Amino acid sequence: VTFNSPLKLIVNPLATQLAELLNKNPVLIVILALIFLFIALRYIVVVLKSVFINKAENFFDKVIFKSTFTALAFGLILTVLVQSSSITTSLIVPIVGSGILTLYQVFPYTVGANIGTTITAILASLVTGKTEALIVAFAHFMFNVSGAVLILSVPFLRNIPLWGAKKFSELVYNNRYISILFLLIFFFIIPLLVIFLSR
């Protein structure tokens, strides 16, 4: 039994063809991927503002993000369907940027996306047929659910990540180089240090 993301079934053939055209050069592939990413994010915002913003605003406010539970459930279900929390959260960023939703509205959605990744892990563990894999997957699930219940049910705890995100965004807005430094430290330097020290 295998579990395939429907999004991957659509994207992978095109991605494979592009990789072949670039002779599978990793540097060129990364550059092209970043170009596509920025173009996609840019035009998602443009389309939302020019075509769907009025209808989408009512739909998001009155249906999907009407309550904490519906936002969390939507984030969870969407992540399970596409099997990628990165896709789920990336889709919501330009919507917030266009002013349709607020940071407070999308926070439970992001938490739901985080829980959704654990469902993917459970599905993967079922494929392996190993008890240990299933135990780890359910531990991951319970940890994320427990954290979500604790953070979302206690207003003080709920406001901490939101306050931190707002302060950091203000800092980055005033000095764009901080975002580059953040990426270098948390996505390159720290992982490389962990790999080096664990040898």
Locate tokens 């050069």: which residue?
A: 25
- Contact partners, residue 3, CB within 8 Å, separation at least 6: 83, 120, 123, 124, 127
Collapsed DSSP state (helix, strand, coil) of residue 166? helix
Q: Domain ranges in the chain?
A: 6-153, 157-199
How far apart CA 188 and CA 73 sit, in angstroms, is: 33
Averaged pLDDT for residues 150-167: 89
**pLDDT tens, residue by residue, 61-79:** 777 888 889 999 999 998 8
- pTM for the structure as a whole: 0.71
